[in-house]
Amino acid sequence: MTTVQSALHPMPRTANGTTEAVILDVGHGNCTVLRDGSRCVIVDAKSDRLLYQELVDAGVRRIEHLVLSHADSDHIAGALRLLPNEDFEVGTVWVNSDSQKDSQKWHELLVLLTSLAQAGRLRPRLAICDLDSSDLSLDNVLIDVLHPTLTDIGHGPGKRGKVRPEITTNGMSVVLRVSLEGHPALLLPGDLDSAGLEQLLSRDKDVSAHVLVYPHHGGHSGAGSEDAFTKTLCDAVSPEVVLFSMGRGVFKNPLPEVVAEITRSFPEMRVACTQLSENCHAGALPSGDRGYLLNRPVAVSAESRSCVGTVRVTVADDHLQVDPSHLAHKRWITQQVSAAMCEPDRQLALPRPRVP
């Protein structure tokens, strides 16, 4: 693994007692670090470099669990170089089987997990389902597995049959509900699609959370109507913040109709994207003061691409706090972004140069 020691702070950035969730700006993909002091759980790993830097900056050396929501490269690629790295001790890696995923990255990951398990370096576990919350949780971080079920995993992805429902690779995504110090903080649904959401909601599980990391980066859900999927999801989760983990220049996510449905039906919800969508600002990247961005790793040279950037969720004064703050982020948007989808009533034209 390429080291980035020279770019790291010499001392851990935050106190060992910190409880937090960090959604890294990894571009198109997902990676969330759930930390309780020096212990952590990682959900998905798009970039090994950013994840390595975040862990070292935070003083983390022990990864209790690595949960890979499904087999797509933008959720697992970073694990291929993180797992063999002897700078970290890894406890358990959780994955779901996927007979339809015939990709090189997925195959390499399975071979790597076999090798590391044989060497006694970690415990790979196929099938993350029906777990008691204590199986994944840390002292102050409660993690509930809401989806998939044993039945889903037993059937695996495939078309509807005589007795089995249809479920896709995306529909098999692990869905986690994360609480910080007793507060329902995050819903992490991976790339959950419309069929998977229908199954999840049929089980009468509590899916409410302060922050929803929107599934599939705000892309297509497989539903007949994206409006209906978005409304059903946001109704069920009732988040304060909807976050799109997406990369500028990749698929032009989030879809305008998805953001429009949120701002129309749920105007009280804050909407933010890790990077600046081309649907909000085409052409040259805006400049302006980015002082609101957190001192956290971001993708590539992504301070130029970031919108809200890497996001941190903590508990302060017995309530959940999301940083960067809405006000600071909104100020930059209204000053620098030409047609921000998240602020439909404030689409201000950028000032034109004065004609001499």
Count Cβ atoms below 10 Å from residue 279 Cβ, excluding itself.
Answer: 17
Please say whether the beta carbons of 287 and 323 come within 8 A: no
Place of tokens 């969730």: 21
Sign of CA dihedral 197, 138, 316, 7: negative
Please say whether the beta carbons of 195 and 171 come within 8 A: yes
CA–CA dist 147, 164 (Å, integer): 16
Residue 135 phi/psi, 5° resolution? -65, -25
Instruction: Count CA within 13 A, CB hemisphere, residue 208.
Output: 5
CA–CA dist 14, 3 (Å, integer): 21
Please say whether the beta carbons of 216 and 196 come within 8 A: no
- As to burial, measured by CB atoms within 10 angstroms (0-12 exposed, 13-18 middle, 19+ buried), residue 224 is exposed
Q: What is the pTM of this model?
A: 0.91
Cα-Cα end-to-end distance for the chain: 55
Per-residue confidence in pLDDT tens, the chain, 356 aa: 333 322 223 334 544 568 999 999 999 999 999 999 989 999 999 988 899 999 999 999 999 999 999 999 999 999 999 999 999 999 999 998 888 888 999 999 999 999 999 999 999 998 787 677 778 999 999 999 999 988 888 888 878 778 777 788 898 999 999 999 999 999 999 999 999 999 899 988 999 999 999 999 999 999 888 999 999 999 999 999 999 999 998 889 999 999 999 999 999 999 999 999 999 999 888 877 889 999 998 886 656 799 999 999 999 999 999 999 999 999 999 999 989 999 876 544 434 344 43
